[in-house]
Amino acid sequence: MTLSVLVPSSLVREAEDKREATRKLGYVARAATVFRADRLVVFPDAEGERRWGGGFVEVVLRYAATPPYLRKDAWGTRDELEYAGVLPPLRVSSRTGSGPERPGSLQEGIVTEVGPDGRVRVNCALQHPISLLLPDGMEVSEGERVAIRISSREPVRARIVDEPPPGFGIRRADLSEALARPDAGLRIATSRHGTSLSVERLADIVGGSGGDMTVAFGAPGRGLPAILDVPVEDGVAVAGDTDVEPGPGFDLWLNTIPRQGSETVRTEEAMFASLAPLTLTE
């Protein structure tokens, strides 16, 4: 199953200060981690942005997704990360199951240099970057995340494995581009104006998703209908044949909190409430 989660660049629009905005993004990253999202895509909503725009959102999320042992070298000091200390630890299970200090651990590395003969230098929490041979057919570029299997630290024995690194990747892309991916699968727009989620409907969704799923969320006080200019008639989004131009639209508009007790549900709250049922297995 490939799970893509889409959030708008305006998702911290209600934050009172940078500290609160950073904390909120930390919970967004936690939700993506808890439910094993493969990628977290930030799509533009310039009209909804206030003090904190898409650049801030992307940087903080990328930092949160970076393993602690790589953050200093990968990021240094940036204004957007002034309150990075309030970010909750993600503790990605595939990374902490054995730990970077134990033999056989799978962890993330960052390519610092691409050399000749299929060799690259990788920073992967050892004392210094190490030179490793790429697997046959694998191509990488400088700054790319790679998965490293470390079998020994003294002496160093490690290899790059051709599989996604632990955790999730961060991308910034237009909504239409994210929805058009070959692995987008079932494309769900979450909204209080969507079809109410029920036990019966959940069974159809989980059984008919084909394994891949893309779930999009709006911002506090500015849901997806407002962001996409989708009309709402009698409290229901008129989206059955509405496309995001240019490109394909959603397969389903879904209200995952049908008994919503608060006038506004924050994005991170909606993520936990929505992804919990949608990632159930049959």
pLDDT by residue (tens digit) across 153-197? 778 888 999 888 888 999 999 999 999 999 999 999 999 988 999
Look at 68 and 153; give whichever has higher pLDDT. Answer: 68
pLDDT at 92: 84
Average pLDDT over residues 117-126: 85
pLDDT at 72: 83
pLDDT at 156: 82
pLDDT at 206: 82
Q: Is the pLDDT of residue 138 over 80?
A: yes
Give the pTM. Answer: 0.85
How far apart, in whole angstroms, are the C-alpha atoms of residue 27 and residue 33?
10
Residue percentage of the chain with pLDDT more than 90 = 51
Average pLDDT over residues 105-129: 84
pLDDT in tens, 11-29: 999 999 999 999 999 999 9
pLDDT at 244: 47
pLDDT in tens, 202-260: 988 887 666 899 999 999 889 999 999 888 765 555 454 444 443 458 999 999 999 98
pLDDT at 98: 46
pLDDT at 151: 82
Average pLDDT, the chain: 86
